[in-house]
Every structure is written in C-alpha cells, then in structure tokens.
Amino acid sequence: MVTYGSLRCVRRDGGSGNALEGEHRSRTRLDDNGPPSARLADPLPYPTRGGSPPTESSCWTKASDRKLTEKVVMYRTVRRHVIVVATLAAPLLLGSAVQATAAPADGRARISTAFEIPGDRVYPEGITADPHTGDLYVGSFEGGAIFRAKPGQRVAEEFLPARGDGRTQALGLEVDQARRLWVMDRLTGLAVYDIPSRRLLARFVVPNQLPRLVNDVAITPDGTAYITESRQAVVYRVTPEQLAEAGEQGGEVPLTPAFDLSKVVEPHEPNTITLNGIVAGPSGRYLLTVDMTGGDLYRIALPSGKVDKVALSGGDLLTGDGMELQNGTLWAVHPITNANAVSRWRIGSDGRTARLTRRLTDPALGTPTTLLRKDGKLYVVRSQFDKGGPTGPGTPQLPFSVALVRGF
C-alpha cells in the first residue's frame, strides 16, 4: 500500500498529457464516469540524475529533489478527447478544523475526520478493523508503531510501540477471525500478534537479499494470508499450519513464495513498484492485486495460482494503492498522479471484469494510502507522505488523522 514517485501521464494514443496550471480551488470533485484510461511513461520511483536507473537509495533519499508543489492532473473524456480539467498546486491544509468542515462532493460524498493519531512523525499507512470489537488499527510508516481507535474514540492510542520486535515501517495490516493482528514491515517481512495479550506470536522474513518492499496482506476464509512484495512482484503465502509451526519454533521463519508475477505484469524498469494492494474474493476462490505502475488489476485463482489480467472498463488503476472489496464493489485509493483520489469499481461475479462507476478527488483525503469499509462508510488513511515523508519534502499538518467518507 505504499506509493512512491513522480510520474508523467500520457494518453492512450501516445500524446503527452498537457497540464493547465492554476490555483487550487478547495472543492471536491466527484466524477461518476471516471477518468479515461492512462498509462505511465518513465514509470520510475523517482527521476534520477544522468538518466541512471533508480536505486533503493535514490527512491528514499532523493525525495528532496522534488518540488514541493505537486501537480495533479485529472482527465475526462469528451468526444474522444482527453481534457485536463484541474491542477492542484496548493499545499494541503489538513488541520483538524479544516478536516471537520470538508465540503460535500456533488451533494453525495461528505468527508470529515474519523479520529486523530498522536505524534508528529507518524505518517500512517495501513488500516484494519477487529471484526469482533470494531476497534480500528493504524500502522505508522515511521517507526512501525501501531495505534488503536475504539468505536467513538476521537484520538487513537498507542497499541504497540515504535520499533518494537524489530518493526521499523508498518505498512499493510489485517486482523483475522482469531483476533490476530498481521503487520507488514517494509524491509523485513511480517509480524503476527495476539490482540488480547499484545504478544508476538510469529515473525516471517523475506528469504533473499534482493531489493524488497513487503507491502500489503489479504486473508482468505480458510485463514491463509497472502502478502504482496512490490519490488519483486511476488505474492507470499502463510497458511494456518505454517503460522502454528512458526509460533512453536520461535525466532524468524522464511516466507514462502506462492505466486511469481514478475513475468506476468507489464515490463517496467528494475526495482519499480508493481504489486501493491491485495484483496481476497468472498469465497476464497481468487485474489485481486493491483500493479500500481502499470494500472492493471490481476486475478489469481486459488489454489491453482493461474493469473489473468482483469478486464477494466471506464478507466484504469494507475497508481492504485490500498483496496477494499465488499459485496462485488472494489474501492481503491490513488495517492500519486491523480493525488487524493478514491475510485469505485463494480467487480464481475467471477472476478474477471471491473467497471469504474465513480471517482472522488479531494485534497481533504491527504495523500491516501489505504482504506477500509465499515458500517457503510469509508475510513481513509491520510498519510501525508508528500509532506516531509517518504515521497516529498515539507512539514505535515498536525495532527495526523484518518478521514471518514460518507456517501461513496
């Protein structure tokens, strides 16, 4: 669910996407038709000097080379032409007073603040809910702390301290039916905790020394966890039996690669961020995972592992990050090229087709990295990664928070 990069959009016909620069108008844009399909040119995590390929260090230490002003281009199709309709160039104002009064979008979608997160360097990334209690858990990119917000709580509390048990950067989160909290750690692997006791149950690590980015997790009805690795385009698997054995064994256990999509996704530059968000179909017969650089959605059949590209209509999933799937509807956040956006898709009964039905774009979403659907509302993580975080210089607007979106 983490996102990186300065990306340039081009039209399907190969022409360059032209941007109209202008002052930001603080108005929510909701497009029921969605943007036209777009592709990436030069899909690098960050541009590098001299045209050399990006490296791990260039992606994470050269963020200062970026301009503070981030241009966001939104497209619409009118008589077969791609027209730029807006450019957002103002810094996001994410103070709690602004968040609480965000304007309604087209009379239907309304954004407010669900709860705040303490700390001045949190940069939240992942979110999940305990199905038994309704408690929400949010992970911190900086330090890997985990915060918990109980129903009705306005300020989350620290649940697991930063850098505990070797965690450094917490990304994707999930709570299973046994009330175990799964925490993805970007550079190492994942840790599993018992929620009632807060005890570490098991720790799994990437089994090689290649560049890695352990990103998101989905758990199928049988209790098996599937984890995306974004730089190697691999999906790892942890079965209930492997989890039990790891708990008995103790120490660090190597992750088991389940599906290698490196030859399936469209070709990209080395070390490009590919597989990102992942969700499981309701029956556990398939997984859906997004290639955020290519804008494609992939269906992985279970247990065979057969991979097919999902047929998208009405748009694509360019820069797609965290996703949520419920009752045939897929929500995805887009924090880079079309920054501060959530798209909504109708998924076919077999998971082989997806149709864009609506798109919400608003600076009040605060560079969203993932989301969840609960009680008919969306809880969207405002990462502010572009405000002094991993994707840009500057200073975040405090407090960090999670947005609540109604009517979408």
* pLDDT above 60: residue 318: yes
The pLDDT value recorded for residue 21 is: 30
The pLDDT value recorded for residue 32 is: 46
Q: What angle do CA 229, 125, 186 make, to 5 degrees?
A: 35
> Could you read off the pLDDT of 270-282 as tens digits, one per residue?
889 999 999 999 9
Backbone angles phi, psi at 364, to 5 degrees: -70, -10
* pLDDT above 80: residue 206: yes
Which segment of 76-90, 262-276, 394-408 scores lowest on mean pLDDT? 76-90
Distance CA 336, CA 334 (A): 6
Q: What is the mean pLDDT of residues 42-60?
A: 33
Q: b or e along 139-168 (b: 16 or more beta carbons within 10 Å of the residue's beta carbon)? A: bbbbbbbbbbbeeeeeebeebbebeeeebe
> Could you read off the pLDDT of 13-31 as tens digits, one per residue?
333 333 323 333 333 444 4
Confidence of residue 68 (pLDDT cuts 50, 70, 90): very low
Backbone angles phi, psi at 201, to 5 degrees: -95, -40
Confidence of residue 350 (pLDDT cuts 50, 70, 90): very high
* Residue 338 CA to its chain's centroid (Å): 14
Token pair of 352, please? 């082989």
Count of beta carbons in the 10 Å neighbourhood of residue 326? 14
> Could you read off the pLDDT of 212-253 as tens digits, one per residue?
899 999 999 999 999 999 999 999 999 999 999 999 988 899
* pLDDT above 90: residue 3: no
Distance CA 157, CA 201 (A): 22
In 3D, which of 166, 164, 165, 128 has the Cα closest to residue 148? 128
> Could you read off the pLDDT of 79-116 as tens digits, one per residue?
233 323 233 333 333 333 333 334 454 558 999 999 99
Q: Which amino acid is at 268?
A: H
Q: Regarding predicted confidence, which is higher, 32 or 168?
A: 168
* pLDDT above 60: residue 127: yes
The pLDDT value recorded for residue 337 is: 61
Confidence of residue 387 (pLDDT cuts 50, 70, 90): very high
Confidence of residue 392 (pLDDT cuts 50, 70, 90): confident
Q: State if pTM tops 0.95.
A: no
The pLDDT value recorded for residue 107 is: 55
The pLDDT value recorded for residue 338 is: 59
Q: Are 347 and 328 in contact (CB under 8 A)?
A: yes
Q: What is the mean pLDDT of residues 382-404?
A: 94
- Computed over every residue of the chain, the mean pLDDT equals 79
The pLDDT value recorded for residue 224 is: 98
Q: Regarding predicted confidence, which is higher, 333 or 36?
A: 333
In 3D, which of 135, 140, 133, 177 has the Cα closest to residue 160? 140
| The domain over range 96-406 is classified in CATH as 2.120.10.30 | yes
The proportion of the chain whose per-residue pLDDT surpasses 70, expressed as a percent, equals 73
Q: Regarding predicted confidence, which is higher, 65 or 249?
A: 249
Q: Regarding predicted confidence, which is higher, 45 or 85?
A: 45
